[in-house]
Chain A
Amino acid sequence: MNAIGIGIAVLGIAIGLGLIGFSAMQGMSRQPEAIGKMQTAMLIGMAFIEVVMLLLTFVILGSVTK
């Protein structure tokens, strides 16, 4: 059951990460001068989304071991 929960969470987070990467690459191809700024913003956004999955994984693992 926990594995299904992690799977569903990872599905949503992968969609979110993909949307960020998709729009960042689109923006980079449209305006190659602004690649540096876009990469910075993209990395920050990806980092914040990634933390959601990590927190959730730690919460589920904690609930399993107890």
Chain B
Amino acid sequence: MEFLAGNLAPFIASAEKGEEHVGFVGILTYAIFVLIVIFCLMAYAKKGMNLRVFKNPILNCFEQLYLFIEKMCVGTIGSHGRKYVSILMTFWMVIFASNVCSLFFPAAPTADVGFNLGMALIAIGYVQYEGIKTNGFFGHLRHFGGPNLGNVLLAILINPLIFLIEIVSEVLKNVSLSLRLYGNIEGGHLAASAMNKLGEGIYVPFGAFLIPIKLLTCVVQALIFTLLLSVYISLVTHHDEPEVDHESADEKERWESGKIAEAMIH
């Protein structure tokens, strides 16, 4: 027993004591576990793809997820947003699976601030890469400098200030992305352990009743991370081409023709 406790210590989180951490090995183990689960699900989802009708339930789930993320991409980034579906869906699945892992296991990758900071660095680094690829290096830097004010004096005085503030906010995007995820997941654990203390006398785990809310938090946090990443991508890759919203134009036309028909009847 002593041997087990000594060797499994990095893998077993002390959910009761906030001072001890699972450590690098524990987080890596759980991250690999999450990745294995995702890969197994996706390998199983490939099974029914050659049939005329998709009957595989896992495949249907992934299809709905793909459609959801594609709609979010096209709605936020624009018509060229379909090529960012892959990275956004990867982030969605990793974050969601890790969050669900945090419901069942004593530790999870997203309940550790280092893992989240790594993901945020990857995300923001990808945003910089896309910005440089779209606008060129100096175009990307000019994007930080704010709008063209038209006056030389104003440009010398104001634009360096905007540039500094934009750089700071770009760095703080990493911090905010990682701390939001960490705070929400770890805060749920703290709330559950605090509520467990209420029912200690009567042997009722009140913290377990928080699990539905925590499941909601899991979905919302995965959604928010990808949504913010798509917003950041749309900020650096936007083009000034006018986009025609066919759907709303059609609806407006229909509505107006309806009004005319109504007026003709009366």
Contacts and interface: CB of A to CB of B under 8 A. Distances in A.
Contacts, number: 37
Given A43-B223, A43-B227, A55 B76 contact: no
A54 B76 contact: no
A5 B231 CA distance: 33
A66 interface: no
Contacts of A48: 176
Interface string A28-66: 000001001100100110011011001101100000000
B183 A57 contact: yes
Interface residues of A, number: 14
Contacts of A50: 180, 183-184
Dominant secondary structure of chain B at its interface with chain A = helix
A51 B179 contact: yes
Contacts of A55: 176, 179
Contact of A47 (B72, B76, B180, B187): B180
Closest 7 CB pairs of A and B: A54-B183, A47-B224, A51-B176, A54-B179, A51-B180, A43-B224, A43-B227
13 contacts: A36-B71, A37-B75, A43-B220, A43-B227, A44-B227, A47-B180, A47-B224, A47-B228, A50-B180, A50-B183, A51-B176, A51-B180, A54-B179
